[in-house]
Structures are given as structure tokens and as C-alpha cells.
Structure 1
Amino acid sequence: MDLDTTTLRVAFATAALTMLALFYFVTYRSTRSGYSGWWSVALAWFLVGSAAFILNGTEHQRWANPSGNTFLVLGAASAWAATRSLTGSKTPAWLLLFAPTVTAIASFADDPVHNVWTGGPVFLAMMSLMFGLSARELWRIDRELTHIRTSVATAATCICAFYAARWVVFMVDGQDGDVFKSVFGSQVTTIVSLIFLVVVSFSMSILSNEEATKALRAQAGHDGLTGLLNRSEFLRLAAAELHETSAALILADLDHFKAVNDTYGHPAGDRALRAFADACSGTVRTSDLVGRYGGEEFIVLLPNTHLDRAEAITAQISEQLRLAEAGFPMPTASYGITIARPGIDLETSIATADAALYLAKQQGRNRAVRA
């Protein structure tokens, strides 16, 4: 039994509504991630767009068809924003609305009263573009999520290629051509889109949950106040690093930190800790490790770094701390420096750096001492 286009569009709208309800209440409300939020928005626009096309052939076609084109492209743009959020990129409103706006102008200007395919070339091109950009973002995300990432990226790539092929055939064969109607007509497209919608929604649900789990795992390994590695995570990563290479190890302590709390209050002390953490992060390389060892004590591991360079880095950190603006004089810092090597217990190297830090305190503070 052949299904007419209207029946398929109703089925698609029903599926979109179901996916939206499931994704919002099951995934978004449990993860609250930007990714799942954007995909919920995309599903809502797909639902509205497909529902608008149900009015094809009625007196409402003049506004329904252009609106359907616009909403579907807006849904594809929202899907792109969802994939961008996975890499931490925000999508400006003008960038999100550019393709839908172009689609709306082209669709409303192309005789929507009589032309069922009003704005067709622009609509197909923008759908292909948005899904292509989504696929590009998905292929770039964390390799740890290879299985899920690959399935979603592949689906986005396929739908991008499908709309690109529709555009080519539309331009060559025309909207009334036999090839376009039989291979890329509304019935075939609705079925393909329905399959894509279900597959991607479930894949994105899994991906969103994995992203949330990853974020919680990362949060568990970082200090809540400074954003640096916490003690246990630093020790784990440093031990792994020292299996293969030597590294300079720096133990740092803020001088007279209790006086900052007593004089200016604990919020000021927190600002001082964050300022020192920022000074460390802004000075070392991305391959170096920086952690909050406890209280006002910090620890830094600099792989393949000699003592002279490590001491120069402590001077740079202290200068950055001195220049920090917090509304009160920043405390100085003392440092103990040693070289940690493979085969030597990490705790032993930390104890050596701690002994050097003690000497720095004895010698008057605000200095670095090598073990």
C-alpha cells in the first residue's frame, strides 16, 4: 500500500514530538547539558516545520510552505549549535539565524501561492550546509567517544550528502523531473528524515550522557575553588608522567596567608588562592601539571625541564601574582624545587621539594630554593 505524502508527514511530526518528549524529559532534565538542550530545540523546530507542510495544497500554503522551509533550516542550525557545544564553542545568534533568514526571504519571494517548491534551491542548499557543518564538528570531538561520535557524525554526513544530491538533481532535473520525484521527492525524503531523526536522537542521548559523565569525572579531579588539579588527580597524572621522563618539581606556599584571611577576610583569601592559580596556569605550558596540594600549598610538575628553567618560572609566577588586582596587597610565595626522575618514588621527590620549601621560608620567604 502506497503512503501519501501527507500521511508520511504526519508520521514524521508524531515521531518528532515523541523524540522531543523523550529527549527532553529523559536526557536533558538529567544532564542539563548545552548539547542536549540544543538538540531538544532542534527537535522542536523539526516538529513545527514538518507540521507546516501538512497544509500543502490548502489556502494556507502561501505562508505554510515558506514557514516550513524556514523552521526546518532553523532545526538544522540548532543541531549545528548542539554539535558546537560539544567542543565548548558558543553559536552567536546572528550565525544561528543567518541560514534560516536567507531561506525565509527566498521562500516567501518565490510565489508560495502556486509553487509547492517555493525557495527550493536555497532550502536544499541550506539544509545540506547546516548538516555538513554539524558533521564537521562531530568529527572533531573527543576521540575517547569514538564509537558514538562516529555513528552520529556518519549520520550527519549522510544526511548532508542526501540534501546535496537533492539540490543537484533539483537544479538539473527540475522539481517536476522524473528522477527528482522518484528518488528525491517528498515521500522518500520524509522516510529518510524519519530514520535519521530516530537514529540520531538515540545516539545523541547516549553521547549527551557520556559527555555529562566525562564532565563529572573531570570535575571530580579538579579543585573547586581554583580549577587546578586536586591532590589525588595531580599525584595520579604525575606518577604516570614520571614513568617515562624526568621533570622539575615545584612545591609552592603562599607567605603569611593566614594574615590575609585575618586582615581582609576569607573571601580575600579565596581571591588570593585563585590569583596564584591563575598565575601558575598563565605561566606554565599546557603539557605541564599544576595542582592545589592543600590549603595555600600548590605543586607543579614541569616535564623535561632543568632547575634553572624551573627557577625562572617561579619568578614569572611571583611577578604575575604581584600584578594581580584584588583590592588588597597580594601575598608573596616561597618555592622548593627539585628534579623528579623515573625510578624514584614521587612521594620522596615531593618530600625533597618540601625540605627546600622549608629552607626558603627560613631564609626570609618570597624566594625559591633548589633541593
Structure 2
Amino acid sequence: MGLDITTLRVTFGAVAVTLFVLFYLVSYRQTRSAYSGWWCAAIAFIFVGTIGYLLDGTPQQVWANPLANAVLVAGTVSVWAGARTLRTTRPAVVQLAAAPLLTLLASAVDDPATNTWSGGPVFLGMMALTIGLASWELWHLPASYRRVQAPLAVASGLLALLYLARCIVFLAVGQDGYVFTTYFGSATSTLVTMLLLVVVAFSAAALSAEQVASALRIRADRDALTGLLNRSGFLDVARLQTDRLARAEHPGTLILADLDFFKAVNDTYGHAAGDAVLQAFAESATTTVRSTDIVGRYGGEEFIFLLPGATVSRSEDVARSISMALRTYGAAPGLEMPTVSYGITAIEASDYDLMAAIASADRALYAAKAGGRDRAVPAPRIDRSTEAVAAEAREAGRLGSQ
């Protein structure tokens, strides 16, 4: 007994409506993210396109079939656009419109009044292309999405392969060929697409939940005023980077920076001006350092930097450049930017011990403050053999006094 295409399409439409309602309520209303919005649009387009095919065999198919083809392709384009927003930005308008418009044009000129498969090769090819692009985007998502991306990318990839196979067979044997009608006809493909849509939609919902969790983690690790990593966020990232430096035996430096006489800024100009100064320093710092350097707000008016691969001399140059950028920063009229003191230490001098490096940089920062401020002071390089001899001498003296 063959599959009833009309019943399958009605069922497919009902599934699409259900998924749209669930996805809208569970995902989009909670996140308001571009990704969730694109997925809601995709499901809506797929529903409308499927309903359009119910007019096959009626006088309305002359416009319904070309429109349904174009709307279905618009749905798969929306899936691609949603996946793209998780990696970069949404595609340009011309990229979004190209595939649906080409499908509409090809279907409209291929005798849609009598040909239920008008524009078939273009429609199938565009479906394969756009779903394949979505699968590629999903597979290359950032590491934070790895737990939920695989089912979504694989299901999308399988669906793309199905439409590619349909396109190839359609071109080889035609719409009435035995292989196409038996294995790749509308009934079989609608059933497979419906099953994959359920898998994709629930995976997409899980991905949306992961997006919310990722955003919450980012907010928890960021300082709300400056946008830099907060202390705990910096320490988490810096520990990982320090471990990499240790494994590769590469150098690095750590800088502690403190705005000089910052309290006077608050007392003279008010706390809003103080916030503006902190934001100005954060922007001066982030535009000066490399993309591979790590910058955080350590607390109050104190900031911390980890510069992988940099020497102490290079870090002194970075400190001077940040101070110069801060001095020339366009602040409010009458507001003079404070000077900055820096303490710098080489990471390898602390045997890649992050907390020891911070303590060393803190001592150097104290020396910069005591030396007149507005300067960068490098911590003295620790000679481990000398330090060991001194420690043994202190221990011998302690025992001798007992």
C-alpha cells in the first residue's frame, strides 16, 4: 500500500505548527536571540510551503506550486541564517533572497499550470545547497556548542544529501522515472523530512538553551562597567594560558596596572566621571594589546594583563603605549585623565606559577607607586639557585638558634 501524500502533508503541517509553538514558547520568548528568531521563521516557512502543495491538481497550482517551492527554500535559508548568527553575523539580504527568488523564477517559467514538478531541478538543488550550508555552519560552531551541535549538523547533512540525491535522480530519469517515483518521490521524501525535522527542531531547542547558558557564563565572567574579564574570569583564562606556556616552555609576562590618585577623580568630578575614566582605560588597553593578550579588571581601579610570548621589555613598551592612549583619550571637557603605575613580571621567573607571578607584579607595582608613580617597574628576576641557597641558610640559622 502506497503512502498517501495528502495525508502526509497535512501531518507534516501539523508537526510544523506544533514545533513552531513549542520553539517560540520555550526558546524565542526566553532568549529573544537572532538564532531562535531565524528558527521560528524557518518552521513557519516550511509550514506555509507544505500547505501550498495541498493545492496540487487544482486550478490554483499555477501560483501555489512556484510559491510553495520558493517558501520552502526560504525556510532552509532561514536555518542557514540562524546557524550563521551563532558564528559570525547574519548573511546579507542578497544572500538571503537569491535562492528563493531563483527557485520562484524557475518554477514560474516551467509550465506550473500543468506540471506539478515545475522548476523541480532548481528547487531540489537549492534545497540541497542551503541545507548543506546550514550543516557546514553548525559543524563549525565554537567549542562551547560542541555538546549539542553534532545531532543538528548530522541531521541537516543527511537531509541535504537526500535532496541532492533527489536532484541527481530527477535529472537522470525525470519526474516520472521508476527510481525517482519509487524511492525519491514526494511521499517518501515528506516522511523522511518530517522525521528529520523533529530531530533538528529538538536539537535546535537544545542548542538555543546552550546559547543562553553560554551568554550567562560570559556575563558572569565579565565586568559590567568595562566589559573586560573580571577577576575570576581572568584567573580562569590565565591559568589555561599559563599551562600552555609551561608545556611549550615559552615566555610570557604579567602586568598589574593601577590608576594613580583615582580617588581624587571621584572626589573632584563625581563617580560618573570615575566610571568614565575606568572605561577609557579599558578601551585604551584593549586597543593597544594584541588579540592574543588577556586583559581583566582586577578590582577597583586595578587592572591585570597576561601577555603570552612577550618579554619584559616588550611589556614596558605596551605599558607606555597604553598610558599615551589614555592621555589622548577624548574625555569630558575639564576632566584630566590620571596617570598609571605598572608592575611587570616575567612568567617564567615564577616557574609558570600564575599566583606567584601576580604576587611578584604586585611588589613591582608597589615599587612603582613608592618611586613616584606614572611609571612601569619590572620585578627583579628571581635566581632560583641563589634563592635556594638563601633558604637553606635561613633554615640552618633557625635550627642553630633553637
Using the aligned pairs only, state the percent identity.
50
Distance of 1:368 and 1:241 partners within structure 2: 23
Report the counterpart of residue 139 of structure 1 in structure 2: 139
Report the counterpart of residue 157 of structure 1 in structure 2: 157
Distance of 2:180 and 2:280 partners within structure 1: 63
Count of matched residue pairs: 371
> Following TM superposition, by how much is the alpha carbon of 1:303 offset from its aligned partner in structure 2, in angstroms?
2.7
- Does the 8 Å contact 2:3/2:188 carry over to 1? no
Report the counterpart of residue 54 of structure 1 in structure 2: 54
Correspondence 1:329-340 to 2 at 5 A: 329-340=336-347
Report the counterpart of residue 300 of structure 1 in structure 2: 305
Distance of 1:79 and 1:28 partners within structure 2: 14
Report the counterpart of residue 279 of structure 1 in structure 2: 284
SS in structure 2 of the partner of residue 290 of structure 1: strand
Task: Give CA deviations for 1:151-190 in whole Å, capped at 9, x if unaligned.
Answer: 1111111111111111111112111212111111111111
Distance of 1:339 and 1:225 partners within structure 2: 29
Report the counterpart of residue 64 of structure 1 in structure 2: 64
> Following TM superposition, by how much is the alpha carbon of 1:121 offset from its aligned partner in structure 2, in angstroms?
1.6
State the superposition RMSD in angstroms: 2.1
Task: Give CA deviations for 1:235-291 in whole Å, capped at 9, x if unaligned.
Answer: 233344444265312111223333444455434433322222122222223332211
Distance of 1:323 and 1:93 partners within structure 2: 40
Correspondence 1:102-251 to 2 at 5 A: 102-243=102-243, 244=246, 247-251=252-256
Tell whether 2:278 aligns with 1:270: no
Q: 1:225 to 1:171 in 2, by over 3 A?
A: same
- Does the 8 Å contact 2:144/2:214 carry over to 1? no
Report the counterpart of residue 366 of structure 2 in structure 1: 358
SS in structure 2 of the partner of residue 223 of structure 1: coil
Moved more, 207-216 or 26-35: 26-35
> Following TM superposition, by how much is the alpha carbon of 1:29 offset from its aligned partner in structure 2, in angstroms?
1.9
- Does the 8 Å contact 2:82/2:90 carry over to 1? no
Report the counterpart of residue 349 of structure 1 in structure 2: 357
Q: 1:178 to 1:224 in 2, by over 3 A?
A: same
Letter in 2 for 1:312: D
- Structure 1: unaligned runs, 5 residues or longer: none
Distance of 1:220 and 1:254 partners within structure 2: 24
> Following TM superposition, by how much is the alpha carbon of 1:122 offset from its aligned partner in structure 2, in angstroms?
1.4
- Structure 2: unaligned runs, 5 residues or longer: 380-402
Task: Give CA deviations for 1:124-172 in whole Å, capped at 9, x if unaligned.
Answer: 1111110111011011112343342121111111111111111111112
Q: 1:154 to 1:260 in 2, by over 3 A?
A: same
SS in structure 2 of the partner of residue 337 of structure 1: strand
Report the counterpart of residue 252 of structure 1 in structure 2: 257
Letter in 1 for 2:317: A
Report the counterpart of residue 310 of structure 1 in structure 2: 315
> Following TM superposition, by how much is the alpha carbon of 1:348 offset from its aligned partner in structure 2, in angstroms?
4.3
Task: Give CA deviations for 1:289-314 in whole Å, capped at 9, x if unaligned.
Answer: 21101112101112333211110111
Task: Give CA deviations for 1:208-256 in whole Å, capped at 9, x if unaligned.
Answer: 1112112211221111121211012222333444442653121112233
SS in structure 1 of the partner of residue 344 of structure 2: strand
Match 1:368 to one of 376, 388, 395: 376
Distance of 1:219 and 1:43 partners within structure 2: 30
Larger relative contact order (C-alpha < 8 A, sep ≥ 6)? 1
Q: 1:90 to 1:261 in 2, by over 3 A?
A: farther
Letter in 2 for 1:336: G
Tell whether 2:324 aligns with 1:319: yes
SS in structure 2 of the partner of residue 334 of structure 1: strand
Report the counterpart of residue 73 of structure 2 in structure 1: 73
Structure index of larger Rg: 2
Letter in 1 for 2:324: E
Letter in 2 for 1:78: S
